[in-house]
Amino acid sequence: MVIEFFAPGVPQPGGSKKGFVNPRTGRVVVLEDAKHNKDWRAVVSIMAHYAHSGEPLSGPVRLDITFIMPRPKAHFRSGRHAETLKENAPMFHTVKPDRTKLLRSTEDALTDAGIWRDDTQVVAGEIKKIYGPRPGAHIRITQIEEVR
């Protein structure tokens, strides 16, 4: 089975997890450190629901994601050619956020959407960060058949 979709919007990183003990209840509380990823996770979750409404995938899966990041103004020429890219404008996004943090928030959103039971099922995949005219993420999830 293959699930494939595009999630529009500027991809946001997942933060570190912070844990502390609530002094009143004695229970451990875990909070995410990311400030702006709720909207991104919601978009990914909604688009995942449109792409797959069945039971969560079981077994190993491959996750391929191409994150498309918005270009900064410095990549474009000025004046009447302001919409034209400079010749030296890079294709790959080599600045923050790093791809592992983008992957973290997107995997969490896919887990919340019920695509799989847990992101530990992801055993393979390719994750890229590029610049493009329409920010978002092309996401492809492939269920892997185990052959022994």
- Give me the pLDDT at residue 139, please: 98
Does 37 score more than 90 pLDDT?
no
Higher local confidence (pLDDT), 135 or 16: 135
Query: Cβ of 131: how many Cβ atoms within 10 Å?
Result: 18
What gap in Å lies between CA 125 and CA 93, rounded to an integer? 19
Q: Tell me the two tokens of residue 39.
A: 């909207």
Q: Tell me the two tokens of residue 143.
A: 């269920």
Please state the pTM of the whole predicted model. Answer: 0.86
Phi, psi of 19 (to 5 degrees): -125, 145
Does 46 score more than 80 pLDDT?
yes
> What band does 84 get if pLDDT is binned at 50, 70 and 90?
very high
- Give me the pLDDT at residue 33, please: 65
> What count of residues does the chain have?
148
Domains of the chain: 2-15+23-143 (3.30.1330.70)
Angle, helix 99-112 to helix 37-51, in steps of 10 degrees: 50
